[in-house]
Amino acid sequence: MTQRDQDTISVVCTSQVCAVDDAINPLVGDKAPNSASCKIIGLIVNPVAGMGAEGLAEASDISVLANNYMEKGLLAIRGVTRSYADAQSLRLEMTRYSLQQLKEETGIDAHDVQNRMTDFGVDAMWSSHHPWLVPEPFTPEPGEMYGKKPLDTWIAVLTRISEEAYSNSEIVKAATHNQAIHRLKGAALEDPEQWAMT
């Protein structure tokens, strides 16, 4: 990599890059971090430098491919809609979806779905910043880290939760069921008398 590449590469990146197929194909070579589960975007100079300009471009392409692959599966799930559904162009590296239809038809909201997803051992979806511009939003953010199997698993989990919401919504509403800590009591978060400041 040239000095110019090193000087112009953004230092914001993910920890590992994988192709969207059944095999995991790191693009960063021997400079990949040890933890493939690291999802924190931050100032990680070594992986960026190891990837170089071509690696970053490939990671970007894979991220767009993963996002558009996921869209096909997610839009087949009952209760899931895409924000700005009238837009005809393909989305780039992330798409905001809505569970508003699911909520209207079952009473299950985006936070209920997030809680239930963790019971299946997958990362819960990202919601949105407040105020919500899209009702009951979620953003999968598949990025360039995941292979096809993890993407398919994530879609299958969301499909299962949607089916549960329509057939037995209480299992979703009461989640989590397989975690050491179940639901936090949200009211306590709003009461300064219950806060423990350190």
| Each residue's pLDDT tens digit, 56-111 | 888 888 888 888 889 999 999 999 999 887 877 767 767 889 999 999 999 999 99
pLDDT score at 195:
83
Domain assignment present for residue 7? The answer is yes
Distance CA 138, CA 126 (A): 5
How much is the pTM? 0.68
pLDDT score at 166:
98
The residues, any chain, with a CB within 8 Å of residue 160's CB and separated by 6 or more, are 120
pLDDT score at 57:
83
Domain assignment present for residue 196? The answer is no
Domain assignment present for residue 198? The answer is no
Domain assignment present for residue 138? The answer is yes
* Domains held by the chain: number: 1
| Percentages of the chain per state (helix, strand, coil), in multiples of 5 | 45, 5, 50
pLDDT score at 38:
41
Domain assignment present for residue 194? The answer is no
Domain assignment present for residue 104? The answer is yes
Helices 45-74/148-167 angle, 10° precision: 40
Amino acid code (one letter) for 111: H
- Name the DSSP class of 126: B
Domain assignment present for residue 145? The answer is yes
pLDDT score at 142:
67
pLDDT score at 33:
45
Q: Where are the alpha helices (DSSP H) in 27-144?
A: 45-74, 100-106, 110-118
**Pair of tokens at residue 188:** 């306590």
* CB half-sphere exposure, 21, CA atoms < 13 A: 5
Listed as ranges, residues in the chain with pLDDT below 70 are 1-49, 90, 93, 142-145
Range of the domain at 40: 3-183
Q: How far apart are the first and last CA of the chain?
A: 46
The phi and psi torsions of 134 (rounded to 5 degrees) equal -110, 125
Domain assignment present for residue 130? The answer is yes
Distance CA 127, CA 6 (A): 34
Distance CA 83, CA 125 (A): 15
* CATH assignment at residue 128: 3.90.1150.10
- Please check whether residue 83 is in contact with residue 135, taking contact to mean a CB–CB distance below 8 angstroms: no
